[in-house]
Amino acid sequence: MSEIIDGKLVSAKIRSEIKQKTEVLRKEKSVRLRLATILVGENPASKIYIKNKINSCIEVGIESEHIDLPGATTENELLLIIDRLNNDPDTDGILVQLPLPLHISPDKVIEKISPSKDVDGFHPYNQGILLTSKDYESLIASKIPVPCTPFGCMKLLEYYNIDPSGKRAVIIGRSNIVGKPLALLLLLRNATVTICHSKTKDAASVIKEGDIVVCATGKKGILAGDMIKDGAVVLDVGINRGEDGKIYGDADFESTSRKASFITPVPGGVGPMTITMLLYNTLMLGLKRRSLGNV
Ligand code: GUN
């Protein structure tokens, strides 16, 4: 049986540290940090994610400004709003919820957000620093926003004293939001990293080598216990709704948890960490931009 990696517990710990810092900022410096969120259109899942982000901001003492835009908003209108927020001295972070309607280029939108307010860590400037960093410590010291879900995965490993150094890490999924940045972060922690994707030949033999296996495919139950090595660490990034209406991960929990040494449950594993690291990035960038010292 595996040990459960409790994302709710680690999240609560980090959120309480963030809350303490925002209280000090408010009481001693009269500073209130603010996160601007933008939602374009009516995607039901995005609406839930945005609501959770706004509530989490309030919970830790970060102000939230939410901008709800109709699906017919033009790319130019959105870029002008981002411009206004880039120049607003009271806005510390800007988050545009993805996916965007098809007539808006996500690349143009991400590039428009000032790298100093890019709480998602998606801007090519910030991604470039991640790519060229020499080690994990210097990346963190550089106070560059790291994409929230992969950053949350790294924090979970850290909290459970799982050192990726020298281990084989296999990531299933190559998205810009999770797979690719997580591969770079694990590499900075000296893991030997492989990304599997839809064109990988014999993915089963690659996955079987993984001391750390991360699934980030958005496909329910794609990873089963007989696919991993004994004692592997399994991080499940998937959030999939089953036919019964319940939330499931990418891993079949019942069979993988019998073989893994550590495993993240869904819900309650990686999920809560994504918003926690968004709050962390907002605090970090706010302090940096306002020259107010360390997180
Ligand atoms: N859509 C799914 N995940 C994310 C995320 O981490 N950030 C944003 N902005 N949109 C998303």
Closest C-alpha to 81, from 101, 98, 67: 67
pLDDT tier, 295 (very low <50, low <70, confident <90, very high otherwise): low
* Residue 99 C-alpha from the chain's centroid: 15
Predicted confidence at residue 294, as pLDDT, reads 76
Question: How large is the average pLDDT for residues 125-140?
Answer: 97
Closest C-alpha to 5, from 276, 269, 277, 186: 269
pLDDT at 293 > cutoff 90? no
Q: Do domains 29-114 and 147-271 have the same CATH topology?
A: yes
Does residue 110 contact residue 272 with C-beta atoms inside 8 Å?
no
CATH level 2 (architecture), domain 147-271: 3-Layer(aba) Sandwich (3.40)
pLDDT at 138 > cutoff 80? yes
Q: In testing the pocket of ligand 1, which one of 98, 112, 178, 182 has its CB within 8 Å of the most ligand atoms?
A: 98
Query: Which atom of ligand 1 is closest in space to residue 98's alpha carbon?
Result: 10
Question: How large is the average pLDDT for residues 137-154?
Answer: 97
| C-alpha of residue 32 to centroid of ligand 1, in Å | 24
For the domain covering 29-114, report its CATH number. Answer: 3.40.50.10860
Query: Tens digits of per-residue pLDDT, 27-76?
Result: 999 999 999 999 999 999 999 999 999 999 999 999 999 999 999 999 99
pLDDT at 207 > cutoff 80? yes
Strand partners, 240: 248
Query: Tens digits of per-residue pLDDT, 150-159?
Result: 999 999 999 9
Does residue 110 contact residue 119 with C-beta atoms inside 8 Å?
no
pLDDT at 247 > cutoff 80? yes
Predicted confidence at residue 99, as pLDDT, reads 97
Residue-averaged pLDDT of the chain: 97
Q: Where are the domains of the chain?
A: 29-114, 147-271
